[in-house]
């Protein structure tokens, strides 16, 4: 249900390339669409801001949202703008595709709205990576349970293969985080 047939006046070309592991990567080249798109200026947190909040904690969990962008539905009126051409016809996305200029701010706003409002002292989101941090194990279990409940209620799926739960040292945004 990520895509559907389209009759859109918009269309973007597809780029297919082989990844290092040999798998095929399907991308839509949205450069022309992005050039006429009004920019969403919702802020991305900086690495410095995020790292500053992590001091003094003992337990960390990192949750990775499975195909994060594809879990965010887009407005019906915007779907036609995501149209792309293949040998099988014209298709459009029902969910937020990779490559759209406003994808990162849209995703960050969604995570902010879901996980913010009083929870920033134990959770942070940087796009599809969510980090929970706590001073005690019991506190961490409580925080993580709440975060997972919120994500489940909003129909977000976590990729268990990329998650780290209740560890005392974790890599986040190219930094190793641990209690000193």
Task: Give the chain's radius of gyration (CA, Å).
Answer: 19
**What pLDDT shows up at residue 145?**
95
* Residue of 40, 27, 52, 45 whose CA lies nearest to 127: 45
**CATH code reported for the domain at 3-178:** 3.30.70.270
d(C-alpha 113, C-alpha 119), whole Å: 11
Which pLDDT band holds residue 172 (cuts at 50, 70, 90)? Answer: confident
Assess whether pLDDT exceeds 70 at residue 118: no
Secondary structure E strands in the chain = 3-5, 14-18, 24-28, 59-64, 84-86, 89-93, 123-126, 129-134, 164-167, 169-172, 175-178
Q: Model pTM greater than 0.75? A: yes
**What pLDDT shows up at residue 126?**
85
d(C-alpha 74, C-alpha 92), whole Å: 11
pLDDT tens digits for range 87-98: 999 999 999 999
Assess whether pLDDT exceeds 70 at residue 180: no
pLDDT tens digits for range 52-82: 788 788 999 999 998 889 999 999 999 999 9
d(C-alpha 156, C-alpha 154), whole Å: 6
Q: What DSSP element (H or E) covers 168?
A: none
**What pLDDT shows up at residue 62?**
94
d(C-alpha 152, C-alpha 50), whole Å: 24
């Amino acid at each position: 249900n990520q895509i559907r047939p389209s009759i859109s006046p918009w269309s973007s070309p597809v780029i297919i390339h082989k990844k290092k592991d040999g798998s095929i990567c399907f991308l839509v080249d949205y450069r022309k669409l992005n050039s006429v798109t009004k920019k969403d200026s919702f802020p991305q947190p900086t690495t410095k801001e995020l790292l500053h909040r992590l001091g003094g904690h003992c337990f960390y969990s990192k949750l990775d949202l499975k195909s994060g962008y594809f879990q965010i539905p887009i407005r019906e009126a915007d779907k036609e703008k995501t149209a792309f051409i293949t040998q099988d016809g014209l298709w459009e996305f029902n969910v937020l595709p990779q490559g759209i200029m406003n994808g990162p701010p849209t995703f960050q706003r969604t995570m902010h709205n879901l996980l913010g409002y009083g929870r920033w002292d134990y959770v942070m989101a940087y796009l599809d990576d969510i980090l929970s941090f706590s001073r005690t194990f019991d506190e961490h279990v409580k925080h993580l349970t709440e975060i997972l409940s919120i994500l489940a209620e909003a129909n977000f799926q976590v990729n268990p293969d990329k998650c780290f739960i209740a560890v005392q040292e974790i890599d986040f945004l190219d930094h190793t985080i641990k209690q000193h």
